Amino acid sequence: MLPGQGFDFKTQSHLQELFGFGNICTNWDYSPARELTAMVYPVFEYSLIVYLCFDFLATMLAQKRGELSAWFWNLSKIMFPICVLLCSQFRMIFVCIAYEKVKQHTAGFLGLQIALILVAVQNSLFIWESGITYEQIGPDVKHTRRAILAYLIGDLIISSFKICATIYVVIHGVGAPWTLAKPAILNGKCVGQVVDLIWMFFNAIIPLCISYFRSKNEVPIVFNITQRGVYIGDVDQAVGENAPLVGTDGQTGTNYQQVA
């Protein structure tokens, strides 16, 4: 492959050269796919941040109901802004071109990985702390907690490998040697490729299933949007007499009584 010439996408991409395998990111690393993906990416980014805000709101309401410990509430207040910041900066993968600035490009992805782990830990601890029981899993809270623990331990194990590999790329600009290995048991696949696939399963597929399951088995948050009423007759009368309108709560502009 010479400069200016085409290349085989499956075998000659920059990820194939640096890491020994291509992943889902390769699909939007090159123009015009990068620009087109950047146009629709905000849908994902904003949805994720809105989720973080609503999740934090649900945690706050549970804390006010006395369902959570003080340490968990304090932990949530620390993790929330960190997750929002890391998720918002993932957009830098479209600014730092992967095959020109692989370190900076990978740093944006590293931030998202850390954010997803924090979300998984926070959600797992929330269910554990609040004592939620899902009858589909078992009649007792201990069955729900065992399922949570199994998922969390599995996610932390695979994420530790994934994050270590990503940090190596951010520092050195190439894949870690252990990720490039191709043991016979993997049938020609790199270790890093297998780690990537398992990580995607734990952090993309399972969370969607868990979210759907919880939405069907928990009481939803209900928002009531209200506004203080201002009657046209009161406004007209006040304007005619040049008197301010004062509400029953003492605030100007929401009157139901007139001040002389």
Q: Find, among 255, 157, 246, the residue nearest to 199 by Cα.
A: 157
* pLDDT for 235: 59
* pLDDT for 126: 94
Indicate the burial class of 39 (C-beta count within 10 angstroms; 0-12, 13-18, 19 or more). Answer: exposed
List, as one string, the DSSP characters of 162-217.
HHHHHHHHHHHSS--HHHH---GGGTT--HHHHHHHHHHIIIIIHHHHHHHHHHHH
CB contact at 8 A, 22 and 90: no
Indicate the burial class of 199 (C-beta count within 10 angstroms; 0-12, 13-18, 19 or more). Answer: buried
Task: Classify 100 as helix, strand or coil.
Answer: coil
Task: Classify 258 as helix, strand or coil.
Answer: strand
* pLDDT for 189: 86
Q: Is residue 256 within a helix (H) or strand (E), and if so which, with residue range? A: none
* pLDDT for 18: 73
C-alpha distances in Å from residue 202, one per residue of 23, 48, 53, 195, 212: 16, 17, 22, 11, 15
CA dist 105 and 141 (Å) reads 43
Q: Find, among 196, 117, 110, 192, the residue nearest to 156 by Cα.
A: 117
pTM of the model: 0.79
CA dist 23 and 17 (Å) reads 12
* pLDDT for 227: 79
pLDDT values of the chain reduced to their tens digit, one per residue, 260 residues: 555 566 676 676 777 777 777 777 787 888 888 889 889 989 989 999 999 999 999 999 999 999 999 999 999 999 999 999 999 999 998 888 888 888 998 899 999 999 999 999 999 999 999 888 898 898 889 999 999 999 999 999 999 999 999 999 999 988 889 988 888 888 888 898 899 999 999 998 999 999 899 888 888 888 888 877 766 666 556 555 555 544 545 554 444 444 44
Task: Classify 111 as helix, strand or coil.
Answer: helix
CA dist 238 and 260 (Å) reads 10
Dig out the tokens for 60 from the structure: 């706050």
CB contact at 8 A, 184 and 28: no
Instruction: Please report, as a single letter, which amino acid is at residue 56.
Output: F
Dig out the tokens for 86 from the structure: 């890391």
